[in-house]
Every structure is written in structure tokens, then in C-alpha cells.
Structure 1
Amino acid sequence: MGMVQQEDMRQVCRRFMDSVSREIGGGPATEEEVFGKCRTLAEREQPEAREALTALSRVIARQAAGKDAAEVLRFYLDSQFGLSDSEEAGLLEEKLGALHSSAGSAAAEGAAVGAVPKISVIITTYNRKPFLRQAVESILAQNYPNKEIVVIDDASADGTEVMMEECFGDEPRVIYMRNETNKGPGANRLAAFTAHGDGEYILFLDDDDYLIDSGYFSRAAAFHQSRPGLSFVAANVFLEYSASQRLQLQEIGLSEVTDRRAYFLNFERPGYGKPASTLTTLFRREALIDMDILHMNMVNDASIYLRSLLVGDAGFIDAVVGVYRIHGNNITFNLSRDFLVRNLEEKRSIRNLAVERYNYKKKEMTGWFNNTAYDTIVYYLRNSAKTKEDYTYMYQWTRSNCPDIYGKVKQEFRVRLIKKQILQVPLIRKLIGR
């Protein structure tokens, strides 16, 4: 918490919540009005506390608008300040509840569902026993009655098998699969999907992520049923920076129903952001089959989204429902050339599918593939390429497969490669202290 000691920050937060409760007690207010009042109060506190209180202000404002479940604010107060059970937190929750109760909370949308279609949750795991337990428990905590969890263990050596038996061995809604050799997350998702993914809706959950809104499945399933034909429904998350334990709100900011074509062509570009992993995303199983999931080169999140957008529109619920952990193991800077090329080949398959089956123009899809290939190759060369051979290999692949961007890629990294080669000379490294 920066320069503010933890106990001092707790006292500041208590005072802040008490002030907010008094300030917003006068009747209905918009999200931005509440946020403005909270920010004004935050500015009166010591400078070192303002960033944390401003972040809390946004969470409070979303609560005032009825976007998030009350348990989301409790989670935030507990994880960031250890104050979820405080008197001030209880009063604040009461005041916030009164603001949106008359208008009807968006968080209650879809509570009444006729038929209850099955949701299959597929969790791939490898040597993350404590995280995995939390992930499974967060799904079991969903108030949705018809759910099943399939955990596929990629030959973990940390006691995952024992933990699963001890904690979930008697839980009929949890199926445990285990590989004898490591096969990678993409192959595991397909194996679990093929063996047990028979729900009308499918959620792919990484073992280090988890849900915090126990009513989310009910809302997402109702959203699907009220708008038949959507490929998927997704929502917002907190990004958890594990080193600092800091939470950051990630709001996707897309329309409730976003057109498949516009989203597909502009995927991950400004205004068309990708949800964090797939931890909030309920895919319609029929859409996954239609988009040929069983024949994918690489079953990673971006490729699943892109293929899904070929067959249906995207749905979004403006609610914070889960936590995506950011730590040393999930954003890698050691991608292999093989991994990268498989990723690019999958994108090329998506391009061909779009042209041959879904009536996209060849010219526009050539531009689309060049753009996505350029972004992917640049990411690899900037973060993972280590040797001259890495650069040479990617230059050759680009020249053969994406000639239109070859010159641009090579020019951009010419100076970078020269620097890397110079730094390999011991005398020069010694002179500059590297």
C-alpha cells in the first residue's frame, strides 16, 4: 500500500467508507455522480492513500448502480483492506443497496429461469494445487443448480491428485481426469471437452482464476436464453497482481450484444478488447461444434473467441464476476518458436474458414491475417527471441507466409538484433556493466 502502513490504511478506509455512507444517503444517484462524490472525499485524504481510495470509489459506484453483486464489494474490501466485516462496510452496503433497490438491480437479472440447461466447466491444471482448489470451490459456490466440473490434470507432481481426492472425491459434480504424461493445456481442453463436455454451455477455466459472484451462472444462462444464437456471454473481472496483491478493475466496455463481424475484424483492437482469458465466458456448446473446435491447431483463448465470432454474436454482462491472476507463470516471455508458429497456423486456418465458409472477402481477410500475424510476430521478437537463429527463423517464416509484412518486420528489428549481437561480446558487456 505504498507509504501508508497497513493499519493506517485500514483506518483511512474506515473513515472514507463512513463519509461515503453519509454523502450518498440522500436518494437515487447515477454511477458517475456517486463516483464523483467518492473521488472528492478521496482527495481530502492523505496523498499516499488517494490511489487506493479512488480505485475503491469505482467499485462503490458500480455497486450504487446495481451492476455488481454485494459479495463483490465484500470481496474487494476484504482482499484490499481486510474490512469486509467492519461496521463501516455493513453500513455502506446498506446505503448502496437502498440506492438501486427501487430501480431494480441489474445484478438480479435472470434469477428466474424456466428450464435449467447444464453448464460444463473444464479446468486444465498443472502443479497449482492451492489455486486449483480455490477455482473448483468458486464454481461449486455458484447458486446455479445444473453444473458439472471436469478437472484434467496434466501429470502434476505436487500432490494435486491427493488433494482432489481428499477435497472433492465425494463430490458427484466434480470429475477428475489425469494424464500420465504432460500434453499441454490446448490438448487437455479438447480431451476434457470430448470426454465430458456435454453441457449446453461450456466454460474453460484456468486453474489459477476463480469466480466471486455466486449468481453469475444464473445471469449468464438467462442472458443466453433471452437472446438465442449468441456464441458466448462474458463479463468483467478484477486483475489480481499476485506480487502486490493489488486488484485492478477490468471493464470490457462492449455493447450488451456485439455484432460478430465487427468484433471479429477488430478483435483486440481499440474498442474491441478481449475478455481476460475465458474465466467468465459461457460458450454455447453448439457454437463450439459449429466453429470446428475438434479440429483446432491450438485451443487457446484468442482462437476460441475468433472462431466463435464466425458463428454468432457476442454477449456481455457489465458485472464484475471473477478474478484473473497475473503472476510470473501466466504471461510468459519464453515462448518457443514452435508454439508461435502453431499459433500463427491456427490464425491462418481461421482466415481460410472465414473466406471459404462464412463469406468474408479474401482481400479483407488477407489484411486481417497480416495485421494479426504482425502483432504476434512482433510480440515474440520483442519478448521471447534470444538468439540470431530465432530472428532468422521468424524472418524466413514471415517471408514465406506473410510476404506483405516481411519488410516491415525485418526493418523494425534490424537495430534490435544488432544490439543483441553486440551484447553477446563479453568485453562490451563488461564495459557497460551488463
Structure 2
Amino acid sequence: MSQYESSKHADCYSFLNSIIEYIQNSKVQKITYEDLKEVAIDFLQKGHSQDQSERYETLTQLIFKFMDGKASESVLIFYLKRQFAMEENTLDEIINKLKLVISKDALVDQSITFADNFSYPKVSVIITTYNRKEYLLQAINSILAQDYPNIEIITIDDNSSDGTDLLMEEHFKNHPRIIYIRKEQNCGPGTNRREAFKAYADGEYTLFLDDDDYLIDPNYISKTVNFHMNHPEISFVAANVFLEYSLKDLLKISDLGLSEVVNKYDYLLNFERPGFPKPLSTLTTLFKRDSLIEMGILNMNMVNDASIYMRALLVGDAGFIDSIVGVYRIHGNNITFNLSKEFIVENLDEKTIVKNMAIEQFGFNKKDMDKWFNYTVHNTVSYYLVNSARNAEDFRYMFNWTKENCPFIYNDLRNTYRFTLLKKRLLRFPLVRKLRGK
């Protein structure tokens, strides 16, 4: 351990003991997050690790969630190892002390176990990968670490050139729970998800995992299967994650803040609006296979996370487990500003299909779906014009698509963004940028 890591370890150990002492001596009936936050502020003000304040803020949140049954012991241990270089013997001591001072009615470690005669329906995990062999190894191992016994991992390699095939040969050759497919040409993750699902994913439930994300709660698949069995009306169940900012080596908690079960109609009509966020990726999301078939996954052109979620909401409600269970990596700033107009139109065409399916096949109200469509098209086109459109042809292309397919918002979009291209061109000149900065 380096001197810097040793210092982080020692400071964190001192902080955790401060938290434990506060809980032990507290006279309040129920400790709140604000109570723990005050302890953290007081600790930092005494000169401890000011440069680590973001990590301590997240750790304080995590301890409260641990006390409230919304983060498992394994997740707390993961965080302490990753962000503070805590060693095993110290971890054991701290976790045991923390559990001793938490009240008996706390929800800590409510792991799901099944009866001896439980049939364990099969879970198919589809991992699409391209030139990320180090990340892929972690993703696969995070699934193998799950305590649910009936999982099959389908890894589909999009013709990687970084030795992914050699890694799979070295670590997982003849593994009874892993199917490895290497494509002869690059097809893209969406096509690979659809093909892998059609050819290999015969489990009652399906999880689509990107190669750079991973699970950290080994009991999570068990929890999701149990949730599905208790809520047959849902088409999928998801949970909370850490955001891993790779450039800063920083983990932050991302909470969906949704109810245990959200009505499909309400969620779809408000999808990605305030109060109805989309889960980050599909790394925590266990879909019912029958729902994926019913929503038409085998005929989808764009099999990305938003499209899968929207279609899944046509056939069932959404379930959420209020617990941190995985890690979603953010590389750089993780914001894409170079989307092509063809990609955007493919996205809009998929939303058109969702709207028509909702009305014609699943009985959604036409007026409601038209309103939803106008809103989502406006947002998508606006994002593209502001961030990705580069020339007059890009603007004409999007205006023409909107006029033909969503005429009610055409005039508003055109009037709002007709001078956006001119502004972009002016801002290329140094003098204009300098004057604007004043």
C-alpha cells in the first residue's frame, strides 16, 4: 500500500469509528441521513481529508442506505475497498462494529433465499462486447459471482481486434455456463443483442449487460427473480447503481427514486420526464422473456436501452428495487455530440413504431400517445440540432422529417432553431467568442 493509500485508509477508519460512536450514543429514536451528514461535516472540519470530501459524502449516503436495507454488506465493502483502499482485516472489524450498533429492527442484509424445492427458472445474460477485454472480464465475473444457480452467460463479440477471443479461451474455455460467439464482421450492439436473444437466450428472464458495466451485489439476480414472481404484472425490474467516473476514479450514487411498481401507462407517457427517469443502461434490469417476445424484440431495428424500455412498457408495468447493485461506467464526459442524422431518424422511426403499437395493439389512448410523440420528437430533434447538426443539409433533413412525420411541432421547431446554424458558424471565429465571453 502506498503512503497516499495508507493515509486514505487511516482517515476513513477514523471517520467510520466516528459514525459508529455517534450511532452508539445517539438518543434519537431513528437516525436520519441528515444526522449522519452532520457527523461527516464535523469530521471534515477538523482537518481530515478535505480533498476526499466527495468520497465521504457518498460514504455517508451509503452507510445510511446500509442501515436502511438499501445497500448490502458486499456493496459497502466494495465501496470501502475501491475508494479508501481498506484492507480485509479492517473491513471485517468495521462491518461487525457497525452491525452491532445498528438497531435490531434495521433492514441490513435482507438477502433472498429460496426453498429447497425451488425450481430456479433460467436467467439468460447477454453481454455484447467490442475491444474491451479487460472490462469484459470484470463484467462476466460479476455475473459468475451471483449466488443464483441457474444463469447462462451469452457473450457476443463484435469482431474485436484486441485479443478478446484469446481472453475468452484462456479464462472460460468449456465453461458450462458461458456461450461465446465471435462475429466475422462488425454489426453493432443492437443487432448482436437481437441475434443473441433469438438464437441462444432461452431463459425465462433476460438481462442485457454492456461489457463495461458490472454487478456488485451477489444476491441481486435472486432478488429480481423473487420480485418477478411476487409481481407477475411487471415486464421488467431494475435497481440503483454507482456512477463510476473513470477519469477521476470516483463513485457516486445514482437513485432512480421510483415506486416499487410503476404503472406502464403512466411511465410510458412520462418517460424520461421529471419523476420518471430511465434506468441507466440495462445493467440492473431483468426482463421477462415473454414480455420481450410480445413487444416485438425480434423485429426491432434499434435494440438500444431506451427502445427496449419503451416497448416493454407496452406489455407490463415496471418494477424497482431500491438498492445499489451495480456500477455504470462513465468514460470521459459520457455525452455524445457527434450523432448522425441517420441515427437520429432511426431513433425517431422507432418511437413512431412504439406510438403506433401502443394505439393499435395495446389499447393506449390515441390523444395521449400523440401528445407523447410530439413531446419526445421535439426533445430528440432539439438535442440533435443544438449538439450534433453541422451544416444546412443536417438542418433541412431534420426539418423535412419533422414536417412529414410530426407536423404539429414543425413550425415551432423551425422558428426556434432556424438561426442556430448561423450562431454556430459565428462562434467559430475567435473575435466573436471573445466578445461573447465578456
TM-score of the aligned structures, taking structure 1 as reference length: 0.92
The match for 2:344 is 340
Moved over 6 A (4+): 27-31
Q: Is the 8 A contact 2:191 2:301 kept in 1?
A: no
In the other structure, the counterpart of 2:16 is: 17
1:122-142 deviation line (CA, Å, top 9, x unaligned): 001111110011000000000
Residue identity opposite 1:42 in structure 2: A
Could you say what the CA RMSD is over the residues aligned between the two structures, in angstroms? 2.2
1:248 aligned onto 2:287: no
Give the counterpart letter for 1:159 in structure 2: G
1:275 aligns with 2:260: no
Question: Does the 8 Å contact 1:213/1:321 carry over to 2?
Answer: yes
Unpaired segments ≥5 residues, structure 1: none
1:112 aligns with 2:104: no
- CA shift at 1:390, angstroms? 1.4
Distance, in Å, in 1 between the alignment partners of 2:369 and 2:135 is 40
In the alignment, the residues of structure 2 paired with residue 69 and residue 278 of structure 1 have an alpha-carbon distance, to the nearest angstrom, of 20
- Correspondence for 1:90 among 77, 89, 92: 92
Measure how far apart 1:185 and its partner are: 0.8
Which of 42, 54, 57 lines up with 2:57 in the alignment? 54
Judge conservation of contact 2:55–2:251 (CA < 8 Å) in 1: no
Q: Cα offset for 1:404?
A: 1.4
Q: Does 1:36 align with 2:34?
A: yes
Give the CA deviation at 1:29: 7.5
The alignment-based identity, stated in percent, is 49
Structure 1 range deviating more: 152-161 or 378-387: 378-387
* CA deviation string 1:44-91 (max 9, x = no partner): 21454443322210000000112211010111111111125363x434
Aligned mate of 2:160, from 156, 161, 164 = 156
2:73 is equivalent to residue 73 of structure 1: no
Listed as ranges, the gaps of 5+ residues in structure 2 are none
**Is the contact made by 1:75 and 1:84 (CA closer than 8 Å) also made in structure 2?**
no
Map of 1:258 onto structure 2:
262
Q: Give the whole-Å Cα distance in 1 for the aligned partners of 2:178 and 2:56.
A: 39
CA contact under 8 A between 2:426 and 2:432: conserved in structure 1? no
Greater alpha carbon shift after TM alignment, 287-296 vs 139-148: 287-296
Structure 1 pair 431–369 and aligned structure 2 pair: CA distance change class (3 A): closer
> 2:282–2:305: 8 Å Cα contact kept in structure 1?
yes
Residues 415 and 149 (structure 1 numbering): CA distance in 2 closer, same or farther, change over 3 Å? same
**Change in 2 beyond 3 A, CA 1:52/1:328:** closer
Select 1:385's aligned residue among 380, 386, 389.
389
TM (norm. structure 2) is 0.91
CA contact (8 A) 1:297 1:343 kept: no
CA distance in 2, matches of 1:197, 1:177: 13
Structure 1 residue 133 and structure 2 residue 119: aligned? Answer: no
**8 Å contact from structure 1 (residues 154, 178) kept in 2:** yes
The 1:64–1:146 alpha-carbon spacing in structure 2 relative to 1, beyond 3 Å, is: same
- Tell me the secondary structure at the aligned position of residue 134 of structure 1: helix
Corresponding position of 2:149: 145
Deviation at 1:371, TM superposition (A): 0.7
Question: What amino acid sits opposite 1:43 in the alignment?
Answer: I
